[in-house]
């Protein structure tokens, strides 16, 4: 897992609508990259639903959330619509898992990203990261705690 203090590896991936989204698009903002294994799996569905519930509070704290998995854009769109998810979902589809590998959260055994969070500060440096044990949902409290630990600008 990428360590805090590391420069965040740049990326450009399609979102659920086919738009190209780059890490550089968030320059000057705090972004939380939410790596997860797969759309429609029970644990991932619960995880993203929890984050959706507290999204207004996270945004109030100055954080943007972006989900990343190896599912394709069409699958992301169906997942969003079915579960009412407003968080942008990026397709780390081809080359499969390239961004997950760059952030050190790729599971070669399963062919998916591990469940992990990486907070990237306004300067493009990772300020916090968390790799979840299998089948454990990293609660939103972890993100709120990490946001609280930021040094004021």
pLDDT tens for each residue of 80-131: 999 999 999 999 999 999 999 999 999 999 999 999 999 999 999 999 999 9
- Position 151 pLDDT exceeds 80: no
Residue 6 lies in a domain: no
Q: Strands across the sheet with 30-35, in order?
A: 88-91, 63-69, 30-35, 116-120, 126-131
Contacts of 123 (CB under 8 A, 6+ apart): none
pLDDT tens for each residue of 17-30: 999 999 999 999 99
Residue 138 lies in a domain: yes
Residue 93 lies in a domain: yes
Contacts of 18 (CB under 8 A, 6+ apart): 73
Residue 116 lies in a domain: yes
Residue 142 lies in a domain: yes
Contacts of 127 (CB under 8 A, 6+ apart): 4, 30, 119, 120, 121, 146, 150
Q: Of residues 33, 44, 75, 89, which has the active-site annotation? A: 44
The CA distance from 82 to 120, in Å, is: 29
Active-site residue flag, 75: no
Residue 44 lies in a domain: yes
Q: Report the percent of the chain where pLDDT is more than 90.
A: 95
User: How much is the pLDDT for 102?
Assistant: 98
Global pTM value? 0.95
User: How much is the pLDDT for 134?
Assistant: 82
Q: Which H/E stretch holds residue 106?
A: strand 106-107
- Position 153 pLDDT exceeds 70: no
What residues make up the domain containing 41?
A: 12-148
User: How much is the pLDDT for 46?
Assistant: 95
The CA distance from 60 to 92, in Å, is: 28
135 vs 33, residue with greater confidence: 33
Residue 70 lies in a domain: yes
Mean pLDDT of the chain: 95
Beta strand 116-120 with 112-113 is unpaired
CATH number at residue 39: 3.40.30.10
User: How much is the pLDDT for 135?
Assistant: 85
User: How much is the pLDDT for 152?
Assistant: 53
30 forms bridges with which residues in the sheet?
63
- φ, ψ (nearest 5 deg) of residue 88: -65, 135
State mean pLDDT over 130-145: 93
Structural domains in the chain (count): 1
Residue 65 lies in a domain: yes
The CA distance from 146 to 141, in Å, is: 8
């Amino acid at each position: 897992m990428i360590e805090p203090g590391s420069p965040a590896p740049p990326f450009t991936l399609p979102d659920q609508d086919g738009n190209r989204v780059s890490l550089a698009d968030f320059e000057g903002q705090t972004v939380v990259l939410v790596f997860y294994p797969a759309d429609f799996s029970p644990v991932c569905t619960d995880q993203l639903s929890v984050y959706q519930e507290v999204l207004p509070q996270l945004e109030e704290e100055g954080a943007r959330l972006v989900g990343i998995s190896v599912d394709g854009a069409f699958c992301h769109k169906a997942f969003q619509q079915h579960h009412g998810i407003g968080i942008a979902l990026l397709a780390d589809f081809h080359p499969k898992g390239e961004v997950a590998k760059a952030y050190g959260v790729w599971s070669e055994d399963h062919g998916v990203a591990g469940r992990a969070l990486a907070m990237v500060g306004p300067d493009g440096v990772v300020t916090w990261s968390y790799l979840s044990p299998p089948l454990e949902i990293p609660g939103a409290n972890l993100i709120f705690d990490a946001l609280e630990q930021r040094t004021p600008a």
